[in-house]
Chain A
Amino acid sequence: MTTHNWTPDQPLISIRDVHKSFGDLEVLKGITLDVRQGEVICIIGPSGSGKSTLIRCINALNPINSGSIKVEGQEVNDPKLDKLALRKKVGMVFQQYNLFPHKTALENIMMAPVKVLNEPVDEVEQRARKLMKRVNLIGKEDAYPGELSGGQQQRVAIARSLAMNPDVILFDEVTAALDPETVNEVLLAIKDLAQDGMTCILVTHEMGFAREVADHIYFTDRGVIVEHGPPATFFTEASDPRTQEFLSQIL
């Protein structure tokens, strides 16, 4: 894929006035935001506000109706888009983990680099074992997803996404389906990535975590960005009544 004269000093992801409807229901009503390389963005907001839809549009899992999403200068809202090339650069981790249940943890991580990127097996295996170590799952290489806890499965999913060496990873409420005691181990893995300079876009309800790792927080409600800012000021100086109401309920 051509880079369309994109240079790292420009936003890695540039979203402009994105509209998205499911039938008569408009879920995104003109979203505009930028993500720079190495930045960690948290998108918060009440359920049904379009947060998940927005990040699913970034890797073209959902098509948008109008507006523009550019990833490294490549327009996503383009019928001629090479979706596979886009998805090699944009990783994604899901709320329900979505590991492949018929493959072991290590195979889950190795499959895509071997089959999709056609990389040599032994090289990928080395990388996969390092990633297992990085997400603190040594010894679980040969376990099937059904034998792992939710938190462990989600960490395998993060490693699986990392194995593709993406430029950005989308996290879609990755701790929402977890037992409270396993939430932290997943958050630690994400924090480790963020500190390592990985560009991350998180849809989350973990306010404490957002405050700690995010460079920028966006609050969405009913398909629009109501308010945004760096965490230091966002949580203390929120001015919109909708933001205040949401924060008062959740904090």
Chain B
Amino acid sequence: MAIKLDNSQTDLPVLKPFNYSPAGQPGDLQFSRWLAEVPPHGFIGLLLLACLWPVIAAAQSNFTTTQAFEALWRWMPFLLTKGFLLNVVVSFLTMLIGTIAGILLGLGQISPINWLRRSCWFITQLFRNSPWLVLLFIVMLAFPFEIQIGDTIIPIPDWMKAVFGLSLPIMANIAEVVRGGVQSVSTGQWEAAESLAYTRQQTLWMIILPQCFKRMIPPWMNWYAILTMATPLISLLGVEEIITLSRQAMESEDNHPELLMPFFGFSLVIFFIYCYPIARLTMKLEKRFNVKG
């Protein structure tokens, strides 16, 4: 007897589709839901956890936990204004580029023109299912470090290239959000507009998109939070964001192992403080829009 297995309802990893990603499908809000479920005092717990490890290690050297936190305190303004700020700037710009490109790609996927729809589908699948870090390395190495327009040479800094690299998977996932949003509007709306002699373009812009716009906001925000959490990836490419700068700061403090937890714990807490309200807001909006239908 054959057993019918529903992929979507199993916890067994082998039964998941091969492209199953821990971040969830573009439309669902798995990440935001998980983050929003952390109780508001959760980050204090994170801080306490961060303090624990140096206590154990303290016996091994004469550099104390207190000194480690003093070092962190000295570096904190620098890490925030030079480091984390860049993470935020990168996430903003990536989201901007990714959203614009993603909307175009998503609309391309519902185009009546066959070759356009197919190629948009292919591009979306390609960038959705590629490891982000691989995409980042390709962009980093393939892009020129400056471009020449006429006589002026415009340098492209590394962080700008990182923005392009991160934009690719964001674009593909936003494209899926847009496609899913448009397809969530009932076909009756298309038919009603068609029977009133609206063109396809008019139907899309006046009837369909205004209806699904609200529904696309929570998954869009979900992707923003995922992206922000992923920005430390660019430290592997030498971009001077919060993780790169933390490591440099620790080096200048003689690389005591007691520094590790305060410094990286600080980054963890900062990302949590930044993303947590976004996740809460995402879930709130999701609830509100769902009730209204």
Contacts and interface: CB of A to CB of B under 8 A. Distances in A.
Q: Do A and B bind each other?
A: yes
Interface of A: 59, 61, 83-85, 87-88, 90-92, 94, 96, 98-102, 111-112, 115-117, 157, 160-161, 164
A61 B196 contact: no
Interface string B232-269: 00000000000000000000000000000000000000
A143 B198 CA distance: 23
B197 A84 contact: yes
Contacts of B210: 102
Nearest to B213: A102
B195 A116 contact: no
Contact of A94 (B191, B198, B199, B202): B191
A84 to B, nearest CB: 5
Given A96-B188, A98-B188, A98-B189, A87 B199 contact: no
Interface string B164-178: 000000000000000
Contacts of A83: 194, 197
B195 A111 contact: no
Interface centre among A90, A91, A101, A157 (most CB of B within 10 A): A101
A54 B55 CA distance: 80
Nearest to A86: B197
Contacts of B191: 61, 94, 98
A100 B195 contact: no
Chain B, interface residues (CB within 8 Å), range: 10 to 19
Given A99-B192, A115-B198, A160-B196, 11 more contacts: A83-B197, A84-B199, A90-B195, A92-B195, A94-B188, A94-B195, A96-B188, A100-B211, A111-B206, A112-B198, A117-B197
Given A61-B191, A111-B206, A115-B206, A101 B198 contact: no
Given A94-B188, A102-B211, A61 B194 contact: yes
Contact of A112 (B186, B188, B197): B197
A116 B192 contact: no
Nearest to B194: A61
B206 A61 contact: no
Contact of A116 (B186, B189, B197): B197
A99 B188 CA distance: 9
B207 interface: yes
Mostly helix, strand, loop or mixed at chain B's interface? helix
Interface in B197-230: 197-199, 202, 206-207, 210-211
A92 B191 CA distance: 10
Nearest to B198: A116
A43 to B, nearest CB: 18
Nearest to A60: B194
A87 B197 contact: yes
Contacts of A157: 192
Interface string B71-107: 0000000000000000000000000000000000000
A210 to B, nearest CB: 23
25 contacts: A83-B197, A85-B197, A87-B194, A87-B195, A88-B197, A92-B192, A94-B188, A96-B188, A98-B188, A98-B189, A100-B189, A101-B211, A112-B196, A112-B198, A115-B198, A115-B202, A116-B197, A116-B198, A116-B202, A117-B197, A160-B196, A161-B195, A161-B196, A164-B196, A164-B197
A101 B210 CA distance: 10
A173 to B, nearest CB: 13
B195 A61 contact: yes
Contacts of B189: 98, 100
A101 B192 CA distance: 12
A117 B186 CA distance: 25
Nearest to B190: A98
Contacts of A160: 196
A99 B206 CA distance: 13
A24 to B, nearest CB: 22
Contacts of B192: 92, 94, 98-100, 157
